[in-house]
Amino acid sequence: MGIERVGIVGGGQMGAGIAEVCIKAGVDVFVHEINDDLAAAARSRVEKSLGRAVEKGKLDETGRNEALSLLRTGSDLDAMADRDLVVEAVIEDEGIKKALFEDLDRIVESTSAILASNTSSIPITRIGQATSRPEAVVGMHFFNPAPVMPLVEIVRSPVSSDDTVERAASFAADRLGKTVVHAKDRAGFIVNMLLCPYIIDAIRMYESGFATKEDIDAGMVNGAGYPMGPLTLSDLIGNDTMLAVAESLFEEFREARYAPPPLLKRMVEAGLLGRKTGQGFYSY
């Protein structure tokens, strides 16, 4: 069965980005937020992003208007009832995600619908256990910013059905034009299991006074060919998200390389979250 109606729960930077990717591919999208003001803000994020695409000549006005005609936002979760695919894109908190999937299990009507999480670190098995249909639950991990980054990690739990995995992967690759990689269901999947220790080591290096933040970032950009340094990248991801990923990885593997640095915890407690506030490592 094809996927023509997508629901996205969470209209922040990631959710809005996923919504934009979908509507540009001609998919009907409903974005849910917890109140009407946040729902309106989600729509505004998409409108502004599409506007920038028009300004840069990557999209014409007709394409922009056609895409926006496919987007609805609101605060009624029951609007997810007719969706073929629902992608959860809320904060990286296992309890919140599980409660949401329990609600979606009750609301989404189609027995063939896919319930997907955009989690960057939490095992899909644990999320799927909150539903009566764990075989329909899969990870679809988009990367930030979703309209630009080509990758989607498809994460299969031990009970995700072949049909669920194949349809999710086909939608991401064939309809959305993304590069798909398949990951086994363990904390961090492929990318964050490799990326997280790198960023953590950079934070520890800065915290110890071994090198300045500017030199750490410049070293990896100019010496290793990375598009941005690890501290800038942590700010882009969101230092609160980075902390949540590190905590999830450390909880599962109990390896020192995943242990969250004290500096990262202090920054999050101080509200220096990077992308959400504009305050991060370079304002610390």
Q: Which of 28, 30, 26 is nearest to 10 (CA)?
A: 30
Identify whether 145 is preceded by a cis peptide bond (ω within 30 of 0). Answer: yes
Three-class DSSP labels, 115-153: EEECCCCCCHHHHHCCCCCHHHEEEEEECCCCCCCCEEE
Backbone angles phi, psi at 3, to 5 degrees: -105, 110
Among the options 20, 153, 157, 239, which is catalytic? 153
Active-site residue (options: 120, 121, 160, 239): 120
- 153 catalytic, yes or no? yes
* Known catalytic membership, residue 120: yes
Name the nearest CA neighbour of 89 among 17, 3, 38: 17
141: CB partners within 8 A, 6+ apart? 118, 119, 120, 152, 153, 154, 155, 183, 189, 191
Of the residues 157, 192, 239, 248, which is catalytic?
Answer: 192
- Catalytic site residue from 20, 32, 92, 141: 141
The catalytic residue positions are 120, 141, 153, 192
